[in-house]
Chain A
Amino acid sequence: MSDQTGPGTPGPGGPGDQDRPEDSASERMHYAGYQGEPADKADQDSMSSIFHRAKHPVDTSGAPAKGSDVAAGGPEISAGTHDGPEALGTPPHQTDSTRNPQHTVMRGGAGSGGVTPRRPRSADHDRRAERRAERVIALWFMLSVVGTVGFVITNFVGDKHKEYYTPCLGSALGIAVGGLGIGLILWAKRLMPHEQAVQERHEFTSAKEEIAVTEAEIADGFADTGLTRFPLLRRTLLGAGTVLGGLVVVPLLNLTNAKPGKKLDHTSWVKGARLVTEEGRYVKLGDVSIGGIETVFPAIPVTGANGQVSYQAKTDLHTKADSTTILIRLPPGVDRPRKGRENWSVDGHVAYSKICSHAGCPVSLYEQQTHHLLCPCHQSVFDVLDGCRAIFGPASRSLPQLAIAADSDGYLYARNGDYDEPVGAAFWERS
């Protein structure tokens, strides 16, 4: 770089005028600017072009760190010199000679070891820019205070039932922490010195001697325990430890207040239980129109002291979790009951478990036209006409059917009692 002529002055003694470079391809390789654009475009002082700086923040021209010092600049050509648009066959421009490889330092020059730092920030050499950066950062910190104050005021003075409350709190908190965050980042970026600290890494592997000593000491210590010499000690210790570890089973088993037993096989339906809705209305023939559905729960018959039968609707969570049943009224004649279930329906009313046989979600979407039930969780589809057979999706079992009948008053009730198979998701013990 030292023999680089000043921009615009193809110096005396410089080979520029006399020795035009050979028109060889190998030389021409270097003519172009190495920033991916013809060097001709680079004007005398690349600092003067904001566009150039924005596009190429890493200055590789070999310009010294002090940006204002242009004189020692890199291989730029003189101001106002412009080759014009590249044209085919354009001979190398006169001044191109200054960009001969031997006179053009491609990468910052040998003297700087190829290391050309990023152009310094304006704050580094301009006191006013530094103060400006400081003020901007301070402004963000002040904004953070505004956000914090806003948060406190909204929190205590704001009406928590108004719609603005939560958005205002969130925005104020965002400004409070965000202002501080932006300020901190600007502080580090604009005012702290930019440099790349180089730190050595160290091998993790220890020296062989170190390893040998450590291993030997551990082995000696182990020998001191005598575990190798006293087999009875060793075995009883292992045995006692294993047995003690078995204690973990105790808290695990204590976690449940009930063994599974046959609980999954049964629901709350009993023989004679009426079908009751969520609102506590016993479902009668005629309550559900054709194509309609009703979610029903068991109302358990209770015989009072005077022999009178009353019904107790069970709509608690536990009953709902397994006894929820969907009552569908089909148009006459479309149902194709399974063998042995011919009299499980009354006047087109069929009752199936609403708990999906796949993962236990309530099967709650009924398509009137196709008579399909759809589970919204995993899209299993059940064909109501075909005994709620699973026809699509991940469910593989039909929904269990509840046998129903109507009493003399027209109230629907469970004629056989509970479902004849477990409802809901399958499990290991289920056949």
Chain B
Amino acid sequence: MTTASPPDFVKRPGPVRKLNRAADERFGTQAGLRRNLNKVFPDHWSFMIGEIALYSFVILLLTGIYLTLFFDPSNTEVVYNGSYVPLKGVEMSRAYASTLDISFDTRAGLVFRQIHHWAALIFVASIIVHLMRVFFTGAYRKPREVNWLIGVGLLILGILEGFAGYSLPDDLLSGTGLRIAASIAQSIPIIGTWASFMVFNGEFPGANFLPRLYVVHILLVPGVLLALIGAHLAILWQQKHTDFPGPGKTEHNVIGHRVFPIFAVKSGGFFMMTFAMIALLGGLAQINPIWMFGPYDPSMVSSASQPDWYIGFLDGSTRLMPPWEFRGLGHTVPAVFWPTAVLPGILFTLLAIWPFLEARFTGDTKSHNLLQRPREAPTRTALGAMAISFYLVLWISGGNDVIAKTFSISLNAMTWAGRIGLLVVPPIAYAVTKKLCLNLQDKDAEIEHHGIETGIIRQLPNGEFVEDHRPKPEPVPDYPMVPTDRYALPAANGHGDGHGTGIARRAGKAVSGFFVEEKDKEPEAPGKH
């Protein structure tokens, strides 16, 4: 398993080798192919969360393509005459009618629609959990700030894409969401009315709005998402993955599995597992049953109407906002502007610039490849806990009517609890987390100095009882460590192909030039590059 001397050049290549050589003659693939197949990815369960996001996106693309074949994004009013009896004869948009058709009259339509919706929920969820992993381990530090920025962009676009997606069926729930979106657009100072009219093509509900939303949902945002995901992965590939400290691991190496074969097979299997889980959810767990909501009607709304989970925090911030509307000089800045436009603007901006803020405040301009445990950066971890608690208070408040109803609490009390909680809980989370981190650090230091308690009590000759401690063992690697490259190439001799010495090369050239028709020249082919 260790690096061996170079193998012999196979003179009678099989079909696979032939294909490889054909590609190499045209594109010069060998060095790059070898480098990339031998690329090492470290192994840790937390590194797979981002993979879930990637795989959810692939599932979204696959199921989304299927849905586009049947969905008709049209505002045109039709009378429904499908197989769902309760809505027969009801006037509705063709978007809603075709969604009903997908759900009831298309083979495998409902299951793919539900898989699509579940995959969207899991896509955003895994992005956020991945973001937390990256945050709490300090993986965003130099040189990976750009990938952090791309990741924040992916999160924002993912939320927008999800919102556009669940607004497309034009059911009562999605129409209500769009109405709120229109009100938010309208609330922007100076340009708000124009923005809203531009987005909706006129006064809400606008004219032929759904085809536009459709283009945004299936072309524009997915295109940008795809490009950003590509950049995210390319940068990851180029910079190599971070890893936790461990036996043999330094800032200057990566230890793990090679891409080929173990990482590729494991990742393929993991994609399949993600797909399987989402397929099971899509088949067994009903989601967004639009036929129960009915077509959109601006005069109607169902109580306890909840957006998809990732919009919940904005719903919550809107609910908690006190009725502070600024009026004066003939103008109005509506209350809805602050919690839905300003607050997310601030939150996402802070999120985006965090790596630069941290580098600035800590004065840390070095590059890092080894991750930190959360306890090793107490302030960062505490700030993260603070942000999470802030988000959670907003998110819970987004469903405060459901909570109030379920637990028979006064809705007003829930709202006030949210308003106060939003200010009180994050500082508490900060203080508690920081204390926790520092105590854990103390514990680590103690083990470092005194060893681990064994539970064995012994009596000294003088009668004193002492507990035995043993030194903390050095961690050992799970598996034998081997160099990345299975075969050593002789050092490059200026021509970089590593085949033979200069003299051998020149001899080979001469030989191949001489016996140009002979098959013998085959082994020396690299010399002709």
Interface SS of chain A? loop
Residues of A within 8 A of B265 (CB): 184-185, 187-188, 192
Inter-subunit contact A89/B299 (CB<8 Å): no
Given A317-B205, A318-B203, A428-B192, verify A180-B457 contact (CB < 8 Å): no
Residue in B196, B319, B478 whose beta carbon sits within 8 Å of that of A379 in the complex: B319
Residue A364 is within 8 A (CB to CB) of chain B in the complex: yes
Residue in B39, B248, B302 whose beta carbon sits within 8 Å of that of A376 in the complex: B302
Given A390-B323, A426-B334, verify A201-B477 contact (CB < 8 Å): no
Report the nearest B residue to A158, measured CB to CB: B107
Residues of A within 8 A of B240 (CB): 199, 201
Residue A259 is within 8 A (CB to CB) of chain B in the complex: yes
Residues of A within 8 A of B423 (CB): none
Inter-subunit contact A378/B319 (CB<8 Å): yes
Residue in B107, B198, B315, B367 whose beta carbon sits within 8 Å of that of A378 in the complex: B315
User: CA separation between A364 and B176, bound complex, in Å?
Assistant: 13
Inter-subunit contact A201/B297 (CB<8 Å): no
Of A187, A322, A428, most B-chain CB atoms within 10 Å = A428
Report the nearest A residue to B84, measured CB to CB: A161
User: CA separation between A360 and B175, bound complex, in Å?
Assistant: 11
Given A360-B183, A392-B412, verify A182-B299 contact (CB < 8 Å): no
Stretch at the interface among B10-18, B221-229, B468-476, B496-504: B468-476
Inter-subunit contact B298/A320 (CB<8 Å): yes
Of B298, B327, B458, most A-chain CB atoms within 10 Å = B298
Closest CB of chain A to B377's CB: distance in Å? 22
Inter-subunit contact A181/B271 (CB<8 Å): yes
Given A38-B456, A174-B283, A397-B325, verify A359-B105 contact (CB < 8 Å): no
Residue B81 is within 8 A (CB to CB) of chain A in the complex: no
Inter-subunit contact A169/B111 (CB<8 Å): yes
Residue B114 is within 8 A (CB to CB) of chain A in the complex: yes
Cβ < 8 Å to B, chain A residues 195-246: 195-201, 204
Cβ < 8 Å to A, chain B residues 184-220: 184, 186-194, 196-199, 201-205, 207
Stretch at the interface among A2-10, A115-123, A342-350, A408-416: A115-123
Inter-subunit contact A107/B473 (CB<8 Å): yes
Binding site for B on A (CB under 8 A): 23, 25, 28-32, 34, 36, 38, 58, 60, 86, 88-90, 106-108, 114-118, 155-156, 160-161, 165-178, 180-185, 187-189, 192-201, 204, 252-253, 255-260, 263-264, 278, 295, 297, 317-318, 320-322, 324, 354-355, 358-362, 364-365, 376-380, 390, 392-397, 424-431
Inter-subunit contact B319/A362 (CB<8 Å): no
Residues of B within 8 A of A359 (CB): 179-180, 183-184, 318, 336
User: CA separation between A377 and B303, bound complex, in Å?
Assistant: 8
Contacts A86-B456, A181-B268, A204-B367 given; 20 further ones with Cβ under 8 A?
Answer: A32-B456, A166-B114, A167-B283, A167-B284, A192-B265, A195-B479, A196-B481, A201-B252, A257-B202, A260-B203, A317-B298, A318-B203, A355-B298, A364-B301, A376-B401, A394-B339, A396-B323, A426-B336, A428-B190, A431-B330
User: CA separation between A201 and B257, bound complex, in Å?
Assistant: 15
Residue in A30, A106, A393, A426 whose beta carbon sits within 8 Å of that of B187 in the complex: A426
Minimum-distance CB pairs A-B, first 9 = A170-B283, A181-B272, A178-B276, A184-B269, A425-B183, A396-B323, A426-B334, A185-B269, A174-B280
